[in-house]
Structure 1
Amino acid sequence: MEWPLSPDPDPEPGPGLPGELFPRERTEIAPGAVHVPDWLGPDRQLALLAACRDWARPPAGLRTVRTPGGGVMTARQVCLGLHWYPYGYARTAVDGDGTPVKPMPAWLAELGREAVAAAAVEPAPPGGPAAYDIALINFYDGDARMGMHRDAEERSPAPVVSLSLGDSCVFRFGNTATRGRPYRDVELRSGDLFVFGGPARRAFHSVPKVLPGTAPPALGLTGRLNITLRVGGLG
């Protein structure tokens, strides 16, 4: 599948919700961590949602993730490029149906490069931005959560790109040393971009709350999708 739409022009600050005094603007949450509101326009959100629905179908489709200790993640997941499982990567859905993982589309890798440039986060040295070769797509219903964790299975220090579709959420962005404070809570809405790299690349982060019923009606999505793009550096 090819990306069906040309890139959105540089977005204006987000209009916000009724009753908000100020528009939402690009914000550096921590050194190397940047929130860009409304980066994906409505058409690109619809196109990305359609792609996510295709990827969620079997084989190697949407699955429930179980941790080694017997816990169950409330957000369900599908992977592209390489299959993530706690705590590693494989070329097949080793904790799902065992089939080969779906490939990472070139247009989605390019979207990752665009996102890093838009956020003005320094790409990983040396030699400029690397090719994004892994995508994790997490689906959250209204009761789903994600505990404090860090993306540590990759060998590349390239920034992590996070795209939001559907319901808003509270995104908690912490520090690199501990799951506790200091951290900062950010509201991520449909179309928002969050990029973290450099000194923030290994920071702990979580989704403590989803806000049901906040998705744009025109999107036709109940729940939240988070598309996380990574550079594995795994050979």
Structure 2
Amino acid sequence: RGLMMGQELVPHSGAASVQDFVGDVITSLVDGAVHRVDLANYNQLALHQIHRSGGSELFWHEMMTSCGSGLFGGMTDLSFDTKSTFLVAFSLLSNLVKVSSGKLRKVQETNMLLPRDVSSKILSLELLLHFLGQLQSEIATLQSSPNCDKAVMEAAEKICFSIRRLVIPCLLSNTVSGIQDPRVFRRMLQIVSLLFRTPFLRSQLKMEIGVLVE
């Protein structure tokens, strides 16, 4: 009847809504993929800086201004103080991984491990364990809060991704050191145990924890 009266045909609203839905899904998938690539790139840059030999000032500068800012600088929903907290937390985590990843040297012409290297590694692993414990506590508090901030949880997930890319390789690289000194091995087991006992971290690191257990 509309055609007989010269009216224009209007596309069916259902078809338009399906097209919009499909477009939103595709856009979401693309944005998610780009987001994950950015996360991986910034953490890979941090890992590169961790394995470089250099002064601590340059390392902290790179973590704060390049890697950390790339991860958290664009999160406009976070307050300045919260953003700064996550930026410093990421830089501190990277520094602990850097110190923990050092090799244990031996005293010249002996089989004894250099006491300074052993003490430095044990202390850095203990601090790393403390850092992860505090993160576990903060995440548990956020999840139990009725007014959980979505942006803060997103930032926490980024920290977890950094743990996946930085801490797990650090533990694997310490396998030889753990065999050389049982005190180092004990700290490594404590960290793996904490990762396994923390539901949020375990959900993000299932495959990695499986590799560590093996």
TM-score, normalization: structure 1? 0.23
Q: Which has the higher strand share?
A: 1
The structure number with the bigger radius of gyration is: 2
Q: TM-score, normalised by structure 2?
A: 0.24
Higher relative contact order (CA 8 A, sep 6+): 1
